[in-house]
Amino acid sequence: MRPPIIAGNWKMNCLLNEAADLAAGIRKLLDGFDGVEVVVCPPFTALPAVRQTLNGSRIKLGGQDMHWEPKGAFTGEVSPTMLKDTGCTHVIIGHSERRHILGETNDMVNRKLKAALANDLTPIVCVGELLEERQMKVTREVVEKHVTKAFDGIAAKDAERAVVAYEPVWAIGTGLTATPTQAQEIHHFARNILTRLYNEATAQRIRILYGGSVKPDNIRTLMAEKDVDGALVGGASLKAADFNAIARYKE
């Protein structure tokens, strides 16, 4: 019912030639593969080069962030229309590195989510707790706040086009992965919040990805959980072979 998504977040990595090589490597391994929806999110500078490399393949392109306004005096920002112009169909919103390193607020995440939906981009909106928050046993409160504020003022018919990524911050880039049970617990909790905000049918349509040290050797058990609908992959998405193995977790 919910087609799985495997999305690669390249973060601030890859010069143009490296990005084109990585995209070519991924294309070679995943061209024609239709087992899951595959998305790659290179840095802005590499979007046109990666698009060219992926042209005609099923692999989709996403931005790592965007501003909510269509254009104007916002030095350094990239608009939804600019992302679409480079061939993006997806955009990551509210990644924890943006929230915690660059000061992105829930209000900004909400505006970006609305702008992505209004521009027909599929938003992958990231939520998740810091290590201290998990230790203080406030994980659910944090996730509830992230989800509720992100979706504030968004109608059900639009919300169902969004994708949520649960990314516990303590698991990102650390090699520590949430156990499948820990992931399922929060995914189920997040889906219940969406049911409360909207209704059962809408919540059942929204895909909830897991992110945080996803690797070829842990993807299968994570994906076996009922409410895990895919993965947002950082480090392992920079190696074509690993990303391919993750996307082909069913094989």
Applying CB under 6 A, the residues found at the interface with ligand PGA are: 9, 167, 172-173, 211-214, 232-236
Residues contacting residue 96 through CB under 8 Å, at least 6 positions apart? 126, 128, 167, 169, 172
Q: Hey, what amino acid is at 220? A: R
In the complex, which residue's CB is closest to ligand PGA?
234
Residues contacting residue 237 through CB under 8 Å, at least 6 positions apart? 7, 8, 9, 10, 40, 243, 246
Name which of 176 and 224 has its Cβ closer to ligand PGA: 176
95 catalytic, yes or no? yes
Active-site option among 67, 167, 187, 225: 167
Q: Hey, what amino acid is at 103? A: G
Residues listed for the chain: 251
Name which of 68 and 210 has its Cβ closer to ligand PGA: 210
Q: How far is the CB of 18 from ligand PGA (least distance, A)?
A: 17
- Tokens at 207, concatenated: 């895909």
> How many angstroms separate the CA atoms of 41 and 76, rounded?
18
> How many angstroms separate the CA atoms of 137 and 142, rounded?
10
Q: Hey, what amino acid is at 5? A: I
Q: How far is the CB of 83 from ligand PGA (least distance, A)?
A: 18
Active-site option among 95, 97, 133, 187: 95
Q: How far is the CB of 172 from ligand PGA (least distance, A)?
A: 4
Q: How far is the CB of 91 from ligand PGA (least distance, A)?
A: 13
Q: How far is the CB of 6 from ligand PGA (least distance, A)?
A: 12
Name which of 142 and 198 has its Cβ closer to ligand PGA: 142
Name which of 25 and 158 has its Cβ closer to ligand PGA: 25
167 catalytic, yes or no? yes
- Tokens at 39, concatenated: 């998305």
Name which of 80 and 94 has its Cβ closer to ligand PGA: 94
Catalytic residues: 95, 167
